[in-house]
């Protein structure tokens, strides 16, 4: 079974002064926190829940996505 290290993760500021952390390849995996570290800790927690659900249901986690970041100049 895949681990969090197998995925691209993104942590960014949110509109309301908090931070959102997410795994683009996994729908619904986007917790937030007051700091980047809190958002990352919540991401670990949510990922484990999703991984356990997939395992219980006999499903595989999706493959990672390749992200392309473009500068808006």
* Ordered domains of the chain (ranges, CATH): 4-57 (3.30.160)
> How high does pLDDT run on average in the chain?
93
Residue 72 pLDDT > 70? no
Q: Do residues 43 and 9 make contact, with C-beta atoms less than 8 angstroms apart?
A: yes
Percent of the chain predicted with pLDDT > 70: 97
| Sheet strands (E) in 1-73 | 10-13, 19-22, 32-33
How do residues 34-57 score in pLDDT, each as one tens digit? 999 999 999 999 999 999 999 999
Residue 68's pLDDT is: 74
Which pLDDT score is estimated for 69?
75
Phi/psi-derived region of residue 17, left when phi > 0, alpha when psi is between -120 and 50, beta in every other case: left
Which position has the higher pLDDT, 8 or 67? 8
């Amino acid at each position: 079974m895949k681990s969090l290290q197998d995925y691209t993760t993104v942590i960014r500021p949110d509109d309301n002064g908090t931070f959102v952390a997410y795994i683009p390849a996994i729908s619904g995996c986007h917790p937030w926190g007051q700091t980047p570290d809190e958002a990352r800790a919540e991401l670990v927690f949510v990922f484990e829940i999703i991984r356990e659900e997939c395992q219980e249901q006999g499903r595989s986690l999706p493959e990672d996505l390749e992200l392309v970041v473009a500068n808006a100049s």
